[in-house]
Amino acid sequence: MSTTASPQVRARIPDHVVARWAGGLALGHIVLLLGGFALEAAPVAHGEAPSKALHAYAQVNMTRTMTGGYIEALAFVVLLPALVLVARSLARRTDLGRLATQVFVGLGVAFVASTLATGFPPGAAAIYAAQHGVDATTVATVNDIRNYAYVLQVMLTAAMALCVGVASLVEVPAMAISSTDCRRRVAAGAPVWYLVPDGVVQYISKYSLYAPASQPTKKLGPT
């Protein structure tokens, strides 16, 4: 006697759970970011005289500033999963929406990487150099690497916002759909491809779900 294993369906995380986790991580990012800012010294802007950069960084509390930098770095590590979950909550139906969110995640990774690689280290190096006898021109030059990194981060943030806007515009708003009505439509041979995702339509057709036993399986997708 042979038995046929029932097909397994991978459980999908509800959208509201994804949204809550994304919101919680984003909030954690902001809290950590503000905490880091509170401990760090104010950066010297690009174009300031080298002597001003040397004087400003020579007076900085090294331990306090570095602690703030580590907290801020942790904030950007927390930001990464938040970006992935935001993309997951936006991409649902359209190919363009999924593409936009994939680009959004890629830009987000570049944003975090550029912040950690070219934002924090030059700032820390400039402070260390100013407090260990390095000349003012070198201190200002190293500090400007961080300033240029900031410009790059602004550009990446703008591109990320554009991707989110595209994904939000092309994704069809969720409709109130009755599962009972969908089953009745399938049983009657009516199309449901515009009510449920393509994967669901294919799954229903493949296993002849909800169709009366006396009726042949009908194509449920678009003709």
Residue pair 126/139 in contact by the 8 Å Cβ criterion = yes
9 domain-assigned: no
At residue 221, the pLDDT reads 54
Residues 122 and 218 both lie in one domain: no
Residue pair 107/156 in contact by the 8 Å Cβ criterion = yes
Last residue of a domain, one of 145, 170, 195: 170
Residue pair 78/115 in contact by the 8 Å Cβ criterion = no
Q: How many residues does the chain have?
A: 223
Write out the E strands in the chain.
Answer: none
Residues 81 and 94 both lie in one domain: yes
Residues 82 and 181 both lie in one domain: no
Instruction: Give the Cα separation of 155 and 143 in Å (integer).
Output: 19
Using the CB atoms, write b or e for 57-76: b if 16+ within 10 Å: beebeeeebbebbebbbbbb
Residues 60 and 94 both lie in one domain: yes
Residues 147 and 180 both lie in one domain: no
Q: Report the number of distinct structural domains present in the chain.
A: 2
Residues 133 and 188 both lie in one domain: no
Identify the helix (H) or strand (E) that includes residue 173: none
Domain that holds residue 114: 15-170
203 domain-assigned: yes
Question: Both tokens of residue 127?
Answer: 């402070």
What is the mean pLDDT for each group of 10 consecutive residues in the chain (223 residues)?
50 76 94 93 86 91 92 94 88 80 94 90 91 93 91 93 87 68 84 80 83 56 52
At residue 189, the pLDDT reads 82
Residues whose CB falls within 8 Å of the CB of residue 48, separated by 6 or more in sequence, listed in order: 140
Instruction: Give the Cα separation of 189 and 155 in Å (integer).
Output: 51
Residues 165 and 189 both lie in one domain: no
